[in-house]
Amino acid sequence: MAAIPQDERARLLARARQAHDGGDHAAALPLWDEALHRWPEHAGRDETLAFARLLLAFNTPRRPEDALVPPHAAGALARLHARWPEEPLGWIGLAKLAEWRLVWPEAMGHWQAVFERFDAVAEPGWYEQAMTVAWLAHAGPVFKALRASLRQRWPDHETWWDQRAYGRRGSAGGSPTPAGPPSLRDVENLLRFSTPSEAKRVLETLPALDRESATGRACAHIIRTLEHSGLLEDLEAGGAEPARPGTTLVWRNPAGGDRALIVFSGGARGYWLLLDELHRVLRGCGVHLIYLRGLGASFYMAGDPDLGIADYAGLLDLLRAQAAGLGATHLACLGNSAGGYAALRYALDLGAEGALAFSMLTNPQTRHDPQFAPAINAIAQRNPGLVFDLAQAYAAAARPPRTILCFGEGHETDRREAARMRGIPGVRLVAAEGLADHGAIRWFLRRGEVPGLVASLFEAPPA
């Protein structure tokens, strides 16, 4: 006897629940999606809610571009919203659908509707997700308002944004074994805070869906590149300890003599790839090298939590001691992006002879990007006088370091920032012709111009 629709539907749902109970959520979602789509008239509130909960929970640790969205999920979430408007998940589902399509203004509008209707029962995670959308929509005031509301209602709740801004480790970054099921975010944290081998160890435990996603492939590419580049072996041969927690990697150059270059490379998830490109060039510049990881959005002003260094002054003392340990009495700094500000800022207090910056900001407090502003503003409030306008500081300095600012000729913000220091004695501006993006450092690296720029940092001033 042919199966009646109700029997076929029941079998689909049973298979979905079996996969769900067995922990195979990637298999459960398409089955559930098909059952709700083929027989929408039989889709009850509880079944639809269960599907929505699983769909949202499964995709929460994933970037929007990596989300698993079954083909008929939009219809199920739309019915949940229309038939049971008293359920927050229906409204949140519309916001998530817009996020997964990368339509940030629409997603922000849906989140606004969620808070207008359900704020009394809101959860911290709702605010975190809405904050991410506001950031991606470049809506700084909205981000700040959401963050203020979250902190007022849940003052002890630490968000991913707090960890990102202040350089605190995520679960995988703080211990060999992540707390709870590992995710791609753990892999990204390990690429920022630890070593490629640790990131690979966690990546290999993830399901194929994550490993083969855009983010998974990007992380795997970084890991493969470092496995074959020889970077880690060369760093270790020079005395650096890549596996040791901490901000700095100190590489002793046999030809370094009394010169050391302190490098604030930045790079976030791509830190190791950029470091690989930098080290291939800088190792031949005849200087010792001290590399600093970018442990957050603090512009290197917040110390190093792994080493118990709580502030800028502590990290400054560490760099002085490391330079002295290398026998270096002539120092210069190099920085990229947020590290460009750090390079010029530390160069002043280290008495460095020169500073080389790529695509830098002269005053981070003028940047309203939600990824950066909360951390640097909090640091400035706790430490009056620490964060300041470099254009004003260098113009007022009696003997500022020799300074070279490199930027993309067609990148409006980077060009404008560099122009603020035009005319200050000892400052030279160098434009990357035809470059319209923020990646000036790679433009100069690939054209072989960095060694000459580094050498000029140590040149004696003209008579």
Kind and range of the H or E run holding 186: helix 184-193
CATH 3.20.20.10 given to domain 230-457: no
Any idea what the Cα angle at residue 279 is, between residues 335 and 263, rounded to 5°?
25
- pLDDT on residue 172: 34
Number of Cβ within a 10 Å radius of residue 353: 18
Question: Full-prediction pTM beyond 0.75?
Answer: no
Return the DSSP state at 169: -
Residue at 183: amino acid letter: S
Burial track 133-159 (b if 16+ CB lie within 10 A, e otherwise): bbbbbebbebbbebbebbeeeeeeeeb
- pLDDT on residue 461: 56
Provide block-wise average pLDDT over 10 residues at a time, the chain (463 residues).
67 89 89 91 91 92 89 95 96 96 93 96 94 80 86 87 54 40 85 85 92 92 92 91 78 92 83 90 95 76 67 89 95 94 95 96 70 67 82 94 96 94 95 93 95 91 49
Widest distance between CA atoms in the chain: 101
Mean pLDDT, the chain, whole residue set:
86
> Which SS3 state, helix, strand or coil, does residue 462 take?
coil
The residue extents of the domains of the chain are 5-164, 171-218, 230-457
Domain 5-164 and domain 230-457, same fold? Reply is no
Which of 370, 382, 417 shows the shortest CA–CA distance to 104?
370
Judged on CB neighbours under 10 Å (0-12, 13-18, 19+), 160 is middle
- pLDDT on residue 431: 96
- pLDDT on residue 152: 93
CATH homologous superfamily of 5-164? Tetratricopeptide repeat domain (1.25.40.10)
92-137 pLDDT, tens per residue? 999 999 999 999 999 999 999 999 999 999 999 999 999 888 877 7
- pLDDT on residue 2: 44
Is 295 in contact with 248 (CB distance < 8 Å)?
no
19-36 pLDDT, tens per residue? 888 888 889 999 999 999
Is 298 in contact with 375 (CB distance < 8 Å)?
yes
